[in-house]
Structure formats: structure tokens, C-alpha cells
Amino acid sequence: MIQVLLLVVMGFCAGCYTAGGEPVGMLGTTAERIEKKLTAQEIADRVRDTEKIRGKITAAGVVYAFERDIVIDDLDEKGDLKRRQTRKFQSFTDNRDPVLLLYDGKKPTPEQVEKERKKISKHQRKYLGGKESDKSNNSRGDEKLLIRQIERYGDNFIPRLLGEEIFEGRGTYILQFLHNPEKTFKDPLVDLALQHLLIKVWVDQEEFQIAQLKAELINPLYAIGGLAGKLEAFQLTAMQKRLTPEIWADWKVSVAVRGRMLWDLFTIHFSSESSGFKRLKAPD
């Protein structure tokens, strides 16, 4: 989910980046006393183990399909709607390529379907290390996609337990994830962005699935001293829906981005909601 920020920021512009303000620090707990049955690291480790189990179950043929409705609003300087784009995809819990069903409310052309497939596949390979997609055989996805990222970058973050909360009727742990200064990403821009990103995760207390994730840019990011561009605000909220104890799927996602590229101001609102979850028939 955090890859959404990387897609936005990496496409911001090229050059030397700086940030305004101090890096994000540890938040205070949400209660004076927390009964720590598990430490923050133990909770994070349980999440990692849960994702491994999900991958094995998915590889055994337990896959759900669902429809994802996306709305992208481009606003002008006054906050008025300048352009709206809508997409409807059929998506899958095993990370195979989603299928474009509607393009701005209309049945897409074969060219639009293929263009969207290539774009999604390219981003997945570049930012998540996904496999090369094959449009002639989209019957199986990459069930190990997320666990590879967790194992590769898990040590780049330090979890901190903030408290507990009821979310969607279920008990959750609230964790803050801080950038680990001893671990770096290859791209220095990613390191800079993560230092100024407040990341909070709600983890289900029974099944150790991520129920909700929120990320917010605390300080603006500047390109070439602010001359080439500026990312002023970024807010992400992502919620997952429980399908089975082992499989939770993307449910509701909202992203708000505001900034400037050269002399042009931009504000983008992105929202996504999934519905119609149905288990696919296992292959013979």
C-alpha cells in the first residue's frame, strides 16, 4: 500500500530533493496504560507469518475475484473539478493482472484494455518486483508478491505499539512504523520520503491481518530547492475486507495529493471501493 506514495513521488520530477521540517518521530500512546501481551515486533512478525500462510493457501487454489470501482478527480487551483476519470476492474486476491471492465463508464476498446494491463503490470514489476505478465495466460497470479516485499524490506521499518482500538467491530492493535535509519533503500528519494511519512497500521488481534493503514506526509518535499516542484500534501487511507480468516482483500482506498510541478499547481483525489467478492473455482 505504501507503494502508492512511491508511485506519486517518483513521478514528481527528477533532481535533488529536500524536505521541510524534522523527520517523523514516535507518537505517544493512545492510552495511559496498555496491557502489552505482545510487543510491537511480535505483532509485526505475526503479520509476516500470516502473509506466508495466505500465500500457501492462495497457491493451493483459494482465490477470490471482485470488482474494483476507481474514481480519479483532478482539481484546479480553486478546488473545482477539472477532470474526472473512472475505471472498473475485475481484480483477484492472487495479484494476477486485473481486467478492465469499464473505461469512463463505457465498455473499453481492446486497445484500452491492453494499455491498462501493461501499465499496471509495469508498475507492479518496477515497484513491487512482480513477475512479467502474460496476457495469453492470466489464470494464475503471483501469490508470493507481498511476502517477498515484506521479507526484503521488513527490517527497513521499526514498529511501535501505540494502543488498541475496535475497528469495524473487531479488536485491533495500532502500530506506528518508523523508518529505520540503519537501513536504506537504493533510491535516496524513497528514504527521504519515508522519513517524513507518518505510517499507522491497524492489525487484527485475532487473525493478524492488516485491517487499515493510514499514511500522511508530515513535511513537504522539494525538488531542486523548490524550483522544479513541491509535494505539499499526501494522505492515504486503505482498508481491507475479511473474506476468510486467512484471506483479506482490498476494500476501500482513498488518496489525496497536492503539490506543484514547475509553475503548475495540482490536486488529485483518488478513491477505490471493491465489492462482489466471489471465490473462483479451483483449477483442475
268 — phi, psi (to 5°)? Answer: -125, 130
Rounded Cα gap, residues 88 and 108, in angstroms:
10
The partner residues of 29 in beta bridges, in order of sequence, read none
Tens of pLDDT along 64-102?
999 999 999 999 988 899 999 999 999 999 988 899 999
Rounded Cα gap, residues 187 and 120, in angstroms:
21
Q: Which of 27, 18, 26, 24 has the alpha carbon at shortest distance from 192?
A: 18
- Average predicted confidence (pLDDT) for the chain: 82
Full-model pTM: 0.82
Rounded Cα gap, residues 213 and 127, in angstroms:
19
pLDDT of residue 95: 83
Of the listed ranges 34-43, 149-158, 200-209, the one predicted with least confidence: 149-158
Domain boundary assignment for the chain: 3-279
Q: How many helices (H) and strands (E) does the chain have?
A: 5, 12
Mean pLDDT of 5-21: 47
Strands (E), 99-243: 99-103, 157-167, 170-179, 197-204, 210-217, 221-223, 229-242
More confident residue, 107 or 222: 107
| Secondary structure (H, E, C), 218-231 | CCCEEEHHHCCEEE
Rounded Cα gap, residues 45 and 48, in angstroms:
5
Rounded Cα gap, residues 114 and 137, in angstroms:
14
